[in-house]
Amino acid sequence: MEREPRAEKVSVVADVRERFEDAEAVLITEYRGLSVSDLAELRAALRDTGTTYKIYKNTLVRLAIEENAPEGTSQMLVGPTALAFVKKDPSAAAKALKTFASNNDALIIKGAILSGGLLDEAQVRELAELPSRDELLASIAGGLAAPLQSIASMMNNLLSEVSGLLQALSDKGGATKSSLVSEQSDDPAVSETDSAVTSAETEIVTDEASDETEITGTETDPVTEEQSDGDEATKED
């Protein structure tokens, strides 16, 4: 008669399966020879990347992932195994593992499960060389900000040029007007022309006044003649 698995093991298997399903990636390591303080330091470094570092029995891990694990995963689940469950940034987690392993020979990076595929140790180290998500976002933000700054600078320069051009045109217009007035006052031909026009206007006014005087004198003569004729007639009577 087959014994039923204990509730504790069932709970662990369910926990492992859920963590695998929720993780962006799972990094597989061997921690043989690491002290408790070393493990605490490694957990803290991985926690900064949004990664949880857990130790399980290999048999329970195999049970949890036997249906969905990539081929070759079981061969990595030997010896003292610890799993790093990455929630958001596999590159940053791999970088943290690589950095820690470079200072602690006891930590062995075996491989990883990423996007349904199995990576070996060399590929995990290559993953660590890629920019982290934060670095990529910063690069993208910088790339977007640069064109905006260029556009703003270009617009400011254009406005300054337009303002300078308008001011130059305004100054040039004022200078042209003053120059024309000055040239007219300094030009002898213009002065003689103005004098001739003024003299001609004066002669016209004088001639008009003389004509009016002659007309008035002519109109008065008949009246005088009529009065003279009347006086002569009275004498004859």
pLDDT attached to residue 115: 87
| pLDDT for the residue 23 | 94
pLDDT digits 0-9 by tens, 14-46: 999 999 999 999 999 999 999 999 999 999 999
What pTM value is reported for the model? 0.57
Query: Quick one: CATH architecture of 7-130?
Result: 2-Layer Sandwich (3.30)
Write out the chain in H/E/C secondary structure: CCCCCCHHHHHHHHHHHHHHHHCCEEEEEECCCCCHHHHHHHHHHHHCCCEEEEECCHHHHHHHHCCCCCCCHHHHCCCCEEEEEECCCHHHHHHHHHHHHHHCCCCEEEEEEECCEEEEHHHHHHHHHCCCHHHHHHHHHHHHHHHHHHHHHHHHHHHHHHHHHHHHHHHHHHHHHHHHHHHHHHCHHHHHHHHHHHHHHHHHHHHHHHHHHHHHHHHHHHHHHHHHHHHHHHHHC
Position 130 scores a pLDDT of: 87
- What's the pLDDT tens digit per position in 49-102? 999 999 999 999 999 998 888 999 999 999 999 999 999 899 999 999 999 999
What's the pLDDT tens digit per position in 93-147? Answer: 999 999 999 999 999 999 999 988 999 999 999 999 988 766 665 656 555 545 5
pLDDT digits (tens, 9 = 90+) for 173-224: 555 545 544 555 555 554 554 555 455 455 544 544 444 444 344 444 444 4
At 167, the pLDDT band (50, 70, 90 cuts) reads low
